[in-house]
Structure 1
């Protein structure tokens, strides 16, 4: 089952962190956020990734082309112009597709049609981490029989909330949980229906 990770955005909300890099390459504890996302999928047995690229996509290609030798010990044979990586690397197959700098999400996904062979594929954004149980998410998608399943989450308010009565603060809640569900960013999609209609819900 292929995993599509959207890596084309300009990262406007992460502007301070991603001034010169695509947001998927923002550092999280010494690794890129993209690496952490892929590692999570990999832990559930998903090793086939498709990355639709846009803004500064060449940096994402460069990151993966050079990742193994930059992050591991090497044995270098100068005479034969060869090197061996001494540690195991991730067992990932990564397809990078240039989908245009200003292309919208649905059009990016449509361009991947020939690379997605299975009836179902997984989809997420290149800037969000989660501990979601992917096996349960896929099972839920199959059970419901819908075109797209998306995760919904409830989020804490980013602000403390005052309880005010007659202009006087009577109580204070430190960043309470919001009542609304928001898009958690992890999807399971049927190829037929999504790519045919060029829709993302």
Structure 2
């Protein structure tokens, strides 16, 4: 079945990287097909192309051309669907442009749409839901932060439903403050056709420390997310990215820009060697979403406090590879009343 939304994936070749991101967001099909004025295919852009570009220093306002994959796999309209599925599976791709003899785009095959439903993943998703949410008081005086309603349902429910829609079937909720309320609401997860287990912290252990309580230890790489992070990122793509890289741990990061409010004077001793007028500094910040290999848990001590950056540092000290997954999707850490108001304004009631 050809996707009905394929035209929304067409991107003029003179577009910017930001235009490509808007195209990906608008279509929701995870690919932009770069075309000339006659809709002839010049190349494709995916999330992965954009993320690799961001890591190289490409800016959102830059032309899209340097990050375009110029020789994508394509198929003719006459190819039978079972052959399309075999081709996509063999090449591990989720989108496949359809072009005619003149290389004009006439459609798009999307793996998720060719399949009846996403395959169940063996990977566990751990959600950190034990914090006291002190910055959100008085909202959290009688309600744990993950249960605060956004769009007519708890934040934590948004996370579970989004992940279950991508094939995740097993969730572990790390709870502490008012944890009984979270257990009462979610139970065993059967209402969402998933399985939910619980890690009960007697005292706050940090994100890494809570993982030391996992029993039994996961057999596959597992996803970890803070229970107050709302995002449009695809959890399955972070996991796939991690597995392709062969790292011990992956941290999702967001690009953060800060502009100095003053002109900066560069000096060497007493000598002035240059000026920068209100320079902009760019860095990557932790987005609160991770993929962890089971073997990484060896770096933890049971019931000992450990935050996630410390776990990553321990892995690095042991010569394990740790990597970042650059995000561009909408993301919100609901830590303050203003964040909660923004989240509620961004979500219509279900």
Shared fold (TM-score, shorter chain, > 0.5): yes
* Rg comparison, structure with higher value: 2
Aligned to 1:78: none
Where does 1:41-56 land on structure 2 (aligned, <5 Å)?
41-56=163-178
Report if the CA contact (8 A) 2:199-2:210 is conserved.
Answer: no
TM-score under structure 2 length normalisation: 0.43
Q: CA deviation at 1:7?
A: 1.1
Aligned to 1:200: 311
Report if the CA contact (8 A) 1:11-1:18 is conserved.
Answer: yes
* Greater relative contact order (Cα < 8 A, sep 6+): 1
Q: CA deviation at 1:178?
A: 6.9
Report if the CA contact (8 A) 1:54-1:103 is conserved.
Answer: no
Where does 1:27-42 land on structure 2 (aligned, <5 Å)?
27-42=149-164
Note the residue ranges of structure 2 that are not aligned, 5 or more in a row. Answer: 1-122, 264-279, 301-309, 313-350
Q: CA deviation at 1:130?
A: 0.9
Asked whether 1:143 is paired with 2:254, we answer no
Report if the CA contact (8 A) 1:25-1:60 is conserved.
Answer: yes
TM-score under structure 1 length normalisation: 0.73
CA offset digits 1:141-186 (Å, max 9, x no partner): 11221111011112477xxx79667xxxxxxxxxxx9722111111
Q: CA deviation at 1:45?
A: 0.5
Aligned to 1:75: none
- When the two structures are aligned, how many residues end up with a matched partner? 165
CA offset digits 1:15-53 (Å, max 9, x no partner): 242121111111111100000011111111002100111
Aligned to 1:86: none
RMSD: 2.5
Note the residue ranges of structure 1 that are not aligned, 5 or more in a row. Answer: 69-88, 166-176
Deviating above 6 A after TM superposition, structure 1's stretches of 4 or more consecutive aligned residues are: 161-165
Separation of aligned partners in 1, 2:281 and 2:173: 32
